[in-house]
C-alpha cells in the first residue's frame, strides 16, 4: 500500500519533470517593415525623378513634342526680326538644336548661351545666292561684319532668355539633384542592410513581401496626388497648361511601371512563402 509520503514525493517528481512549455510569441518585425516601406518608397520616387524631371533627355523630348517649343522660339524670332531675318529661316531642326543647347546648359547649372551662328550663316547663304544674280557677294562686306552681327544676335537673344525665373530654375534643379541623390544613397544602403538582416534572421520573404506591396501602394498614391496637383496648377497657366498636362501624364505613365514592378515582386514573394509552407 502506497503511503501518503510516497504519493507526495511522486507528485513533486511529476511537477518537476512536466514543466509548462511556454511558447514564444511570434515577432512581427513592425519597425523592420516600416523602415523598409519608407526606404523602398523613397528609393522608387528618387529613381523616378532621376529618369524624368531631373533628366535633360526627358525634358528635351517633352519640349520638342509640345506647344512650348513655339512659345520659346517666339522670343528668339522677335530678336531675329530686329535684324531683318525672317522667321521662316528658323527651321524645326534649328529649333530642336537650340532647345537641346538650352536644356543641357540649364541642367549643367549654367546660364543659357545659345549659338545662333548656324541661323545667321543660313541667312548669309541665302543672301549670297540672291546677290550672285547681280555678280555680288557678302564677302565684299567689311571683314568681321558677319561675326559682329552674330555676336549681337547671340547677346540679345540670350539676355532675353536668361530671366530671373530661369535663374531660379537652375538653382532649383541643383538643389533637387543633390537632395534626391542623398535620399537615394541613404535608402539604398538601408535596404541592403535590411535585406542582409532579413536573410540572417530568416524572415526576408515574409517581411519583404509586405514591404513591396505596401510601398507600391504608397508610391502609387503619391504619384496620383502629384499628378492631380500638377493638373490643377496648370489651370492657372494658360500658355503652359497643355505642356504641364503632357508632362504630368508622361510622368505618371512612367511611374506606373515602377509601381507594377514593386507589386509584382511583392506578390511573387507571397507566392514563394505559400509554397514553402507546403
- Is the C-alpha dihedral spanning 227, 231, 232, 233 positive or negative? positive
More confident residue, 233 or 89: 233
Q: Are residues 129 and 254 in the same domain?
A: no
Q: Are residues 72 and 142 in the same domain?
A: yes
Q: Are 259 and 45 in contact (CB under 8 A)?
A: no
| 13 in a structural domain | no
Cα end-to-end distance, the chain, whole Å = 54
| 123 in a structural domain | yes
* pLDDT given for residue 81 in this prediction: 66
Q: Are residues 216 and 234 in the same domain?
A: yes
* pLDDT given for residue 24 in this prediction: 41
* pLDDT given for residue 86 in this prediction: 58
The number of helix segments (H) and strand segments (E) in the chain equals 10, 0
- Best mean pLDDT range from 136-140, 149-153, 182-186: 182-186
List the single range of 42-46, 142-146, 262-266, 272-276 with lowest mean pLDDT. 142-146
* Residue % of the chain over a pLDDT of 90: 45
Q: Are residues 214 and 253 in the same domain?
A: yes
| 11 in a structural domain | no
Q: Are 169 and 56 in contact (CB under 8 A)?
A: no
Q: Are residues 265 and 129 in the same domain?
A: no
Number of domains in the chain: 2
Q: Are 112 and 76 in contact (CB under 8 A)?
A: no
Q: Are 235 and 241 in contact (CB under 8 A)?
A: yes
pTM for the structure as a whole? 0.78
* pLDDT given for residue 17 in this prediction: 45
Q: Mean pLDDT across the chain, nearest whole number? A: 80
> Which of 225, 199, 209 is closest to 262 using CA atoms?
209
Judged against a pLDDT cut of 80, whether residue 148 lies above it is answered with: no
* pLDDT given for residue 2 in this prediction: 54
- What is the secondary structure of 3-18 as a DSSP string? -HHHHHHHHHHHHHHS
| 225 in a structural domain | yes
| 14 in a structural domain | no
Which of 163, 186, 214 marks a domain boundary?
Answer: 163
Q: Are residues 144 and 90 in the same domain?
A: yes
Q: Are residues 246 and 171 in the same domain?
A: yes
Count CB-CB contacts under 10 A for residue 142. 7
Q: Are 72 and 106 in contact (CB under 8 A)?
A: no
- Which residues have CB under 8 Å from 127's CB, separation 6+? 138
- Helices 241-277, 30-51: axis angle to 10 degrees equals 140
| 115 in a structural domain | yes
Residue range 46-71: mean pLDDT, rounded: 90
- Is the C-alpha dihedral spanning 160, 57, 151, 71 positive or negative? negative
pLDDT tens sequence across 69-84: 777 677 666 666 665 5
Judged against a pLDDT cut of 50, whether residue 130 lies above it is answered with: no
| 94 in a structural domain | yes
| 2 in a structural domain | no
* pLDDT given for residue 107 in this prediction: 94
pLDDT tens sequence across 179-223: 999 999 999 999 999 999 999 988 889 899 999 999 999 999 999
Q: Are 231 and 50 in contact (CB under 8 A)?
A: no
Judged against a pLDDT cut of 90, whether residue 118 lies above it is answered with: no
Domain residues for 188? 31-57+166-273
Q: Are 114 and 158 in contact (CB under 8 A)?
A: yes
Which of 163, 182, 207 marks a domain boundary?
Answer: 163
Q: Are residues 111 and 241 in the same domain?
A: no
68 to 73, 102, 172: CA distances (angstroms):
9, 13, 20
Amino acid at each position: 500500500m502506497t503511503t501518503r509520503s510516497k504519493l507526495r514525493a511522486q507528485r513533486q517528481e511529476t511537477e518537476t519533470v512536466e514543466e509548462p512549455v511556454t511558447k514564444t510569441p511570434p515577432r512581427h518585425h513592425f519597425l523592420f517593415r516600416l523602415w523598409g516601406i519608407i526606404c523602398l518608397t523613397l528609393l522608387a520616387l528618387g529613381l523616378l525623378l532621376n529618369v524624368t524631371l531631373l533628366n535633360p533627355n526627358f525634358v528635351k523630348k517633352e519640349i520638342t513634342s509640345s506647344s512650348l517649343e513655339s512659345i520659346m522660339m517666339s522670343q528668339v524670332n522677335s530678336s531675329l526680326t530686329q535684324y531683318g531675318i525672317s522667321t521662316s529661316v528658323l527651321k524645326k531642326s534649328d529649333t530642336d538644336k537650340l532647345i537641346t543647347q538650352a536644356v543641357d546648359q540649364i541642367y549643367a547649372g549654367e546660364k543659357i548661351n545659345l549659338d545662333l551662328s548656324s541661323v545667321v550663316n543660313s541667312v548669309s547663304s541665302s543672301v549670297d545666292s540672291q546677290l550672285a544674280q547681280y555678280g555680288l557677294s557678302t564677302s565684299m562686306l567689311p571683314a568681321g561684319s558677319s561675326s559682329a552681327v552674330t555676336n549681337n544676335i547671340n547677346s540679345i537673344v540670350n539676355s532675353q532668355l536668361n530671366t530671373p525665373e530661369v535663374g531660379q530654375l537652375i538653382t532649383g534643379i541643383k538643389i533637387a539633384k543633390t537632395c534626391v541623390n542623398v535620399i537615394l544613397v541613404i535608402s539604398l544602403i538601408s535596404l541592403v542592410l535590411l535585406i542582409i538582416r532579413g536573410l540572417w534572421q530568416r524572415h526576408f520573404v515574409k517581411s519583404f513581401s509586405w514591404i513591396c506591396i505596401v510601398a507600391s501602394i504608397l508610391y502609387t498614391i503619391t504619384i496620383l496626388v502629384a499628378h492631380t496637383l500638377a493638373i490643377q496648377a496648370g489651370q492657372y497657366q494658360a500658355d503652359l497648361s497643355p505642356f504641364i498636362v503632357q508632362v504630368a501624364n508622361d510622368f505618371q505613365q512612367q511611374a506606373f511601371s515602377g509601381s507594377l514592378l514593386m507589386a509584382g515582386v511583392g506578390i511573387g514573394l507571397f507566392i514563394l512563402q505559400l509554397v514553402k509552407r507546403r
